[in-house]
A and B are shown apart, each in its own frame.
Chain A
Amino acid sequence: MTQEPILTARGLVKRYGRVTALDHADFDLYPGEILAVIGDNGAGKSSMIKAISGAITPDEGEIKLEGQTVHFRSPMDARAAGIETVYQNLALSPALSIADNMFLGREIRKPGIMGKLFRTLDRSAMEKMARAKLSELGLMTIQNINQAVETLSGGQRQGVAVARAAAFGSKVVIMDEPTAALGVKESRRVLELILDVRARGLPIVLISHNMPHVFEVADRIHVHRLGKRLCVINPKEHTMSDAVAFMTGAKEPPREALAA
Chain B
Amino acid sequence: MGEPNTAAQPSQEFEKVLVNSSTQVASFDTHDKTAIQKIQHFLHSTPAAVPFIVLVAAILIFGIAIGGKFFSSYTLTLILQQIAIVGILGAAQTLVILTAGIDLSIGVIMVLSAVIMGNCAVTYGLPAPLAILIGLGVGSACGFLNGLLVSRLKLPPFIVTLGTWYVIMSTNFIYSANETIREADVAAVTRMLHVFGVSFKVGSAVLTLGVITMVALVFGLWYALNHTAWGRHLYAVGDDPEAAKLSGIRTGRVLLSAYTLAGLIAALAAWVSIGRNGSISPSAAVTDYNLQAITAAVIGGISLFGGRGSILGTLIGAMIVGVVSMGLNMMGADPQWKVFLTGVLIISAVAIDQWIRKVAA
Contacts and interface: CB of A to CB of B under 8 A. Distances in A.
Interface of A: 32-34, 55, 75-76, 79, 85, 87, 89-96, 100-101, 104-107, 109, 118-121, 123, 141-143, 148, 150-153, 155-156, 184-186, 188-189, 191-192, 195, 198-199, 212, 216-219, 235-236
Interface in B1-40: 1-2, 4-7, 10-12, 14-15, 18, 21, 24-28
A75 B248 contact: yes
Interface in B282-296: none
A131 to B, nearest CB: 16
A146 B296 CA distance: 28
A198 B5 CA distance: 12
With most chain A CB atoms within 10 A of its CB, the pick from B236, B245, B246, B360 is: B246
B25 A93 contact: no
14 contacts: A33-B1, A92-B243, A104-B247, A105-B247, A119-B230, A121-B228, A155-B25, A156-B26, A185-B18, A185-B25, A189-B25, A191-B5, A192-B5, A216-B11
B185 interface: no
Given A121-B228, A212-B12, A219-B1, A95 B248 contact: no
Given A79-B248, A93-B235, A93-B307, A195 B4 contact: yes
B232 A107 contact: yes
Nearest to B27: A141
B307 A32 contact: no
Contacts of A235: 2
Contacts of A142: 26
A156 B26 CA distance: 7
With most chain A CB atoms within 10 A of its CB, the pick from B1, B223, B239, B247 is: B247
Contacts of B359: 150-151
With most chain B CB atoms within 10 A of its CB, the pick from A101, A188, A219 is: A188
A184 B21 CA distance: 11
Contact of B10 (A87, A106, A118, A188): A188
Interface in B332-361: 359-361
Contacts of B232: 96, 100, 104, 107, 121
B248 A106 contact: yes
A92 to B, nearest CB: 6
A153 B248 contact: no
A212 to B, nearest CB: 5
A227 B360 CA distance: 42
Chain B: interface secondary structure? loop
With most chain A CB atoms within 10 A of its CB, the pick from B21, B232, B235, B361 is: B232
Given A121-B227, A195-B4, A219-B2, A105 B248 contact: yes
B189 interface: no
Contacts of A120: 227-228
A230 to B, nearest CB: 21
Nearest to B229: A107
Nearest to B240: A93
A147 B210 CA distance: 37
B179 interface: no
Contacts of B244: 93, 104
Nearest to B6: A192
B236 A76 contact: no
B243 A91 contact: yes
A104 B1 contact: no
A127 to B, nearest CB: 13
What 9 A-B pairs have minimum CB-CB distances, sorted nearest first? Answer: A105-B248, A91-B246, A107-B229, A151-B361, A93-B236, A104-B247, A91-B243, A195-B4, A119-B228
B44 interface: yes
Given A90-B243, A105-B248, A216-B11, A188 B18 contact: yes
